[in-house]
Structure 1
Amino acid sequence: MTLQLLLDSADPSKWEAWLPTGLFAGITTNPTLLRRAQQPCQLDHLKSLAAAAERLGCLELHLQAWGKHAIELAECGAALAQLTTPALTIHVKLPITQAGSQAASTLIAAEIPITFTACFEAPQVLIAAALGAQHIAPYLGRINDQGRDGYTELIAMQRALEGVGSSCKLLVASLRSRRDLSHLAAAGIDTFTISAELAEELFEVKATLDAAAAFEQDACSGA
């Protein structure tokens, strides 16, 4: 198992803060994150954002296509895929709806990597597996918000993909705490997209910070 972390943000200032750490292989965005970061959800602007991500060493950028119908989603997804460069791979995100699945079929035939989003139930991963998508993103926190056991649901998704021998991977989204990561990693899930705030939480271990401060103090006192 090789752990892969993606930064879930459309804020270039957060990209600049976190990508140089080497912790993240890429970035995930969607129209909601763009709106929150006051970034226009427009192709020309996404092109400039992709260029900024590439300059920061981002290897993959997951951009969500938009459109009410399958043909619109497919056309938007194809345009987003054109932002791929030798150093940066664009993954087109599509909702795991009937229209999204139809658009995905067209894009996958053109060898465009697809990430399905808004996954809430285990049987949905079989759609992604059947079509040959690279990733499907279940929303852990939102599943829990429905009063269900998100851990159990995601483990069922993972077992379903393994059971049919699919190469499609879960890209777990909507994580709320660092313990979500360790719990799911122990079950064999290895790909996550997390917010900058959760990334900060990973390093906020008081005992570690106290030990590091003591090391620095001792090093200075012995100079």
Structure 2
Amino acid sequence: MTMLKLAMLLLLSASTIISTKAFSPLFRGEARLFLDTADTTIWQELLPTGIFHGVTTNPTLLERAGEPCTVKNLHKMAKLVLEHTDEFMCQAWGSTADELYECGMALSQPSRDRIVIKVPVTQIGVEAASKLIQANCRVCLTACYNHKQAMIACSVGAEYLAPYLGRMTDAGLDGSAECLKMQAITEGMKSDTRILVASIRNAQIMVDLAASGMETFTFSPEVARELFVEPLTTEAAAVFEEAAANGASS
């Protein structure tokens, strides 16, 4: 083997190790946390924490962030996200199953293994999801409001189903109970579909669901920041820094 070939193999091995370390933390296990925003300045703030498996977006979040809801712009946004995380979720749009399918295929084109296409769990949305899945496109069925819809997600083979916890509660339902029923349905049907809990209003609700066995969540920057708020930890960290400074000056 020539020295050039050996150097290339070593470089390839090193890059593979770096890539694996960057996107698959050793002790994360099965948990997947997603940041639910299309605001790129917030991505710059929170993605470097390393706690997020990916970013979720939809047309509403794009509008709120002042980002164009176009295939070209979403490709640009996906590139930014995938430099820091495993997955980028974006939502297809269209008034028919064929339009949703074509849009989803266009959106996922740059990276079918890391871009996940969201479609609503309506009849035409599920029809589009079926076609996308058959085309080896990763799919999240979204805007889920009832545990019975978990049977649809499992049967069509969607990778994710996103129930809107907070909005279900607003509508008079027990949002947490609905999510737990969905989880039980996927287990009962022996499906690999993940219940991606969305519309989370505070960190404690998410923590309670995690303690009950749920492992996949997408949440706002406000909830993300709430996870880091613990005055006793902040105080202890300050004491450590003070001791380190005293030790350095002695």
Structure 2 unmatched ranges of 5 or more: 1-28
For the pair 1:48 / 2:76, whether they are aligned, the reply is yes
**Which structure: larger Rg?**
2
- 1:71 lines up with 2:98 in the alignment: yes
The structure 2 residue matched to 1:7, chosen from 14, 31, 35, is 35
- Scaled by the length of structure 2, the TM-score of the pair is 0.85
Letter of the aligned partner of 2:100 in structure 1? L
Equivalents in 2 of 1:213, 1:139: separation in Å?
Answer: 38
Match of 1:22 in 2: 50
Matches within 5 A, 1:186-197: 186-197=211-222
Structure 2 residue aligned with 1:168: 193
Partner of 1:215: 240
1:134-160 deviation per Cα after TM superposition (whole angstroms, max 9, x unaligned):
000001111111122111111111101
**Deviation (angstroms), 1:186:** 1.4
Number of the residue aligned with 2:119: 94
Which structure exhibits the higher relative contact order, with contacts defined as CA atoms closer than 8 Å and separated by 6 or more residues?
1
Name the CA distance, whole Å, in 1 between partners of 2:126 and 2:74: 23
Q: Tell me, what secondary structure is at the counterpart of 2:183?
A: helix
> Residue 147 of structure 1 corresponds to which residue in structure 2?
172
Shift of 1:45: 1.1
Give SS of 1:46's match. helix
Deviation per residue, 1:7-56 (Å, 9 max, x gap): 1111111111122211111110000000000000011111111122223x
1:59 aligns with 2:86: yes
What is the distance in 2 between the residues matched to 1:64 and 1:70?
13
Identify the residue that residue 114 of structure 1 maps to in structure 2: 139
Using structure 1 for the length normalisation, give the TM-score. Answer: 0.94
Matched, 1:103 2:128: yes
Aligned amino acid, residue 64 of structure 1? Q
Deviates more, 1:45-54 or 1:105-114: 45-54
Letter in 1 for 2:147: A
RMSD: 1.3
Report how far residue 128 of structure 1 moved.
0.5
Q: Gaps spanning 5+ residues in structure 1: where?
A: none
Distance 1:181 1:3 in 2: 12
Residue by residue over 1:92-111, the C-alpha shift from the partner in whole angstroms, topping out at 9 and shown as x without a partner, is 00000001001011111111
How many angstroms apart in 2 are the aligned matches of 1:30 and 1:83? 18
The 3-state SS of whatever aligns with 2:199 is coil
Q: Secondary structure at the match of 2:94?
A: coil
Match of 2:230 in 1: 205
The DSSP-based 3-state class of the residue aligned with 1:114 is strand
Q: 2:109 aligns with which of 58, 68, 82?
A: 82
Q: 1:159 aligns with which of 181, 184, 192?
A: 184
Write out per-residue CA displacement over residues 81-101 of structure 1, whole angstroms, 9 at most, x where no aligned residue.
10217xx61100000000100
- 1:162 Cα deviation from its structure 2 partner: 0.5
Count of matched residue pairs: 220
Q: Does 1:182 align with 2:225?
A: no
CA displacement, residues 191-219 of structure 1 (integer Å, 9 cap, x when unaligned): 11111111111011112112222222233
Letter matched to residue 192 of structure 1: F
Q: Is 1:33 paired with 2:52? A: no
- How many angstroms apart in 1 are the aligned matches of 2:73 and 2:120? 22
